[in-house]
Structure 1
Amino acid sequence: MRKEFKLLAAAAVVALGSIGAAQAQSMMAPVVTSGMYQPSYSAWDGFYVGAQGSLVAMKSHEIDPAVLVLGEELLGDIGGSAGVFAGYRYQLNDWLVLGIDGEVNNVATQFEYNGRQNYGALKWDAAVRATLGYPVAPNVLAYGTVGYSWGHFDLSPSRGGASTEFTAGGIQLGLGVDMLVTENLMARLNATWTHYGVNDVPGGGTSEPSNSVVRAGLAWKF
């Protein structure tokens, strides 16, 4: 009887030890090796290039006593532009996408004074900007931009044809949303505000232009 009891006790100890070892092993953290983990694919990584159309709302503080009736006037215009853009993005994690973006546009605007006379216009603009984005959905990216823009102005019509062209530059701020329609086709909608500073105009006077622009475009993502 004593021998049977010892055998049963030994079997019970072995069984309890096996259960404890199995539980301890299940509680241990799995070992992750470099070959077992791959970073998740980012739909926003890579280059893109596209074309866009824009609505341009111009404003300019002009000082020129030789031309303007009051010597100083605030002129405005709403025109349009067409151009190309390109950029590159890199997604750092699930909530942060960094990028750089640039554009060149042919602009059609015309400042008027005295209700009908052509004072001049913005002819073309270009910009480069940094972007900071947040993926609000797997295929939708909301972002803000900060950059620098150059604009080429021609005020010759107000001077009887005398050349008064100049190129001005200034800070540009913006917000936008890009959407991947397919893996490679991207739609864009954004808006920017640009201030070109106070500029001396050839032939006399100063010009302080600024604009607000809304763009819509399509791009191919590589």
Structure 2
Amino acid sequence: MRSKITLAATLIATAFGLPAVSAQAQSMVAPMVTSGMYQPTYSAWDGFYVGAQGSLIGMKSHEIAPGILVGEQLLGDIGGSAGVFAGYRYQLSDWFVLGVDAEVNNVATQFEFNGAQNYGALKWDAAVRATLGYPVAPNVLAYGTVGYSWGHFDLSPSRGGTSTTFTAGGWQLGLGVDMMVTQNLMARLNATWTHYGVNTVPGGGTSEPSNSVVRAGLAWKF
């Protein structure tokens, strides 16, 4: 008789204890994570930005000038520039950020002929680019660019002071990294290569300039 009473009591205790044990077990199970959870409420890269930059420029030019140079002369120069840039970006997914970027710079270069004679210079340049970026971190974007650049050249010193200026355009390729220092402050470091094509110079001859540029800048993102 006693064993029957003990068995009945055990069954009753088990029945009443099951809900508590079940609830406790469920509370110990980790919550299920769905693809819709933990997504940022905004993209760090969406929106407009505008900033200022400084650049180091390595210039090269194939020059042919009748009466001044014999045959074709390869001239080089390393100078600098200061300018402004602006753009817009839109993040398509976790992997891709598309954008457009433009800049205008005041350039200080001087081609030297025979190590001393001032042959001419690039005075200003401007460019517009399409960008495709990959977020390597929530606040760091690596990107490539393809665009078109215009440069204004003055070769008057090589023509005895006669005004010889022209504006040339060419394709531009580049790579860069932007970093959001704060929610609105963006730091930039990039490099481009531009070829301005073969251009007929007023007064005779041809000029085929190209350059490699490294830029550092700061921008405000809206």
State the Cα distance separating 1:64 from its structure 2 match: 1.0
Equivalent AA in structure 1 for residue 127 of structure 2:
A
Corresponding residue number in structure 1 for 2:133: 133
State the Cα distance separating 1:39 from its structure 2 match: 7.6
State the Cα distance separating 1:115 from its structure 2 match: 1.3
State the Cα distance separating 1:71 from its structure 2 match: 3.0
Corresponding residue number in structure 1 for 2:12: none
State the Cα distance separating 1:142 from its structure 2 match: 0.1
Q: Give the secondary structure class of the aligned counterpart of 1:54.
A: strand
Q: Indicate whether 1:157 and 2:130 are aligned.
A: no
Q: Distance in 2 between matches of 1:138 and 1:54?
A: 27
TM-score (norm. length: structure 2): 0.82
Corresponding residue number in structure 2 for 1:166: 166
Corresponding residue number in structure 1 for 2:61: 60
Equivalent AA in structure 2 for residue 211 of structure 1:
N
State the Cα distance separating 1:169 from its structure 2 match: 0.1
Corresponding residue number in structure 2 for 1:212: 212
Counting matched residue pairs gives: 191
Q: Distance in 2 between matches of 1:85 and 1:207?
A: 28
Percent of residue pairs identical: 89
Q: Distance in 1 between matches of 2:98 and 2:40?
A: 17
Give a deviation string over 1:14-51, Cα, whole Å, max 9, x none: xxxxxxxxxxxxxxxxxxxxxx9x98421100000000
Corresponding residue number in structure 2 for 1:146: 146
Is 1:133–1:144's contact at 8 Å kept on the other side of the alignment?
A: yes
Give the RMSD, CA atoms, in angstroms: 2.2
Give a deviation string over 1:116-173, Cα, whole Å, max 9, x none: 0000000000000000000000000000000000000000001111011000000000
Q: Indicate whether 1:189 and 2:209 are aligned.
A: no
Q: Distance in 2 between matches of 1:99 and 1:181?
A: 19
Query: Superposition pairs for residues 117-128 of structure 1, below 5 Å?
Result: 117-128=117-128
Equivalent AA in structure 1 for residue 158 of structure 2:
S
Is 1:119–1:155's contact at 8 Å kept on the other side of the alignment?
A: yes
Q: Give the secondary structure class of the aligned counterpart of 1:94.
A: coil
Query: Superposition pairs for residues 57-136 of structure 1, below 5 Å?
Result: 57-68=58-69, 70-136=70-136
Q: Give the secondary structure class of the aligned counterpart of 1:93.
A: coil
Give a deviation string over 1:167-222, Cα, whole Å, max 9, x none: 00000000000000000000000000000000000000000000000000000000
State the Cα distance separating 1:66 from its structure 2 match: 1.3
Is 1:65–1:72's contact at 8 Å kept on the other side of the alignment?
A: no
Q: Give the secondary structure class of the aligned counterpart of 2:52.
A: strand
TM-score (norm. length: structure 1): 0.82
Structure 1, unaligned runs of 5 or more? 1-35
Corresponding residue number in structure 1 for 2:19: none
Q: Distance in 1 between matches of 2:197 and 2:173?
A: 14
